[in-house]
Amino acid sequence: MANKSIGVVAILSNKRTLVSHTNFDEFKKKNRLYKYLLRYLLERVSDACRRRHLRRACGDGRVRIVFSRRGGMDYADFQQYMHYLKSLQENEGSLFPLHWDCIDIDAITAIDHSRSAGLQLADIAASAFFQAVEPNLYGGYEPRYAEELRPIVLTSRDGQWINFGVKPVPNLATMPLTPEQAAFFETWKKERRTPGP
């Protein structure tokens, strides 16, 4: 997978920290956290697609957003949420804006997991990062799968993995971490010599 011409973004949420969040009651609503974290993902993906399109000038530069169909998720509602974010950004701005010229909100679709190799690759990436930060039954962590994906993890314009291709939520300064988790995130604070993919 690490040799494919693809990019990976991992949004890693420490849900235990939500209890003290000012919007905790909001996050308890159905799919609210999922949509909130998707915003982080799409900010990064739209930025990477825009940069790639500017470098290569192929296609129309828009990302095709395809979800793995999951029970209880209302995708029309998610499209409305995206329209809301777009109008909010246009009216108030954002510290890390989505690049709306790279997103066709009305083309967002959901298909069965088994029908898309891309969705299966996304699961591999999600599992690799999950195993790196979530202890197994014996209290151990397995960061090597995530490390194998390093060549295809997206970076910011200045070559940073952390807070771009590897995005902890909340930020690391406020997140309680085990020594193993802290060591894992520390390896992603390095700067890539050439930004990519």
pTM, whole model, 2 decimals? 0.86
Is 1 inside any structural domain? Answer: no
Is 121 inside any structural domain? Answer: yes
Domain count, the chain: 1
Is 87 inside any structural domain? Answer: yes
User: How far, in Å, CA of 46 to CA of 29, rounded?
Assistant: 27
Is 114 inside any structural domain? Answer: yes
Is 5 inside any structural domain? Answer: no
Is 33 inside any structural domain? Answer: yes
Is 45 inside any structural domain? Answer: yes
What was the pLDDT predicted at 44?
92
Is 4 inside any structural domain? Answer: no
What was the pLDDT predicted at 36?
83
Please identify every stretch of the chain with a pLDDT value under 70, giving residue numbers as ranges: 18-28, 58, 95-96, 192-197
The helix or strand, by DSSP H or E, that contains position 67, with its residue range, turns out to be strand 66-68
What was the pLDDT predicted at 195?
52
Strand partners, 168: 12
Q: Where in the sequence is the domain holding 161, given as residue range(s)?
A: 10-187
What was the pLDDT predicted at 127?
97
Contact, 164 vs 155, CB < 8 A? yes
What was the pLDDT predicted at 27?
61
Task: Show the DSSP H helices in the chain as ranges.
Answer: 24-27, 32-56, 75-92, 117-133, 144-148, 179-187
What was the pLDDT predicted at 90?
87
Q: Which residue in 71, 96, 100, 74 sits closest to 86, CA to CA?
A: 100
CA distances from 187 to 42, 44, 150, 153, 176 (A): 24, 20, 10, 13, 17
